[in-house]
Amino acid sequence: MTNKMYMNVETGSVDDYDGWWYEDETGTEVNAVDRGEVVEVIRDAEGNWIQGRSEDRRTRYGVKNRLTGEIVHRTQPGEAQTVHARAESWCKKNLGHDGEIVELPLNRAAAALGRLGRAAMTEAQATASREPGAKGGRPRKDAV
């Protein structure tokens, strides 16, 4: 996982959390991130630093066949540079010069609903999982 990056908007300096420690006037070690003196930044598609949150880093790319105009491959959502590299690799391997990388929109509402769905556990499920846990967990397979 990549670290969050922060920028001093006055100087343009960019660093992660650990790079923003300094001593204030009283000699106390403080962090510019904690004091709100720097802003969180992300890289845009051209590689420039722009103000944003790490949640904004998640993106999804597809590979479009230039001959048919059809999206023939979709990446899983993830960190922009990693996902773009995956799409580029797939494109070179399967389509060569006939492929084009396109950014696909993420449906943030659907993603939020998916997170809620995965987190749901009914009281019956919780009760059912406590019983085997009290006995030591999942039973071992018998040796054949």
Domain ranges of the chain: 5-52, 57-109
CA distance 101 to 85: 10
CA distance 19 to 31: 9
Per-residue pLDDT, 31: 92
Helix (H, G, I), strand (E, B) or coil at 22: strand
User: Whole-structure pTM over 0.85, yes or no?
Assistant: no
Tell me the pLDDT tens digit for each residue of 108-134.
Answer: 676 677 666 666 677 888 888 888 878
Confidence of residue 20 (pLDDT cuts 50, 70, 90): very high
DSSP state letter for 106: P
* φ, ψ dihedrals at 19, nearest 5°: -85, 0
CA distance 85 to 95: 15
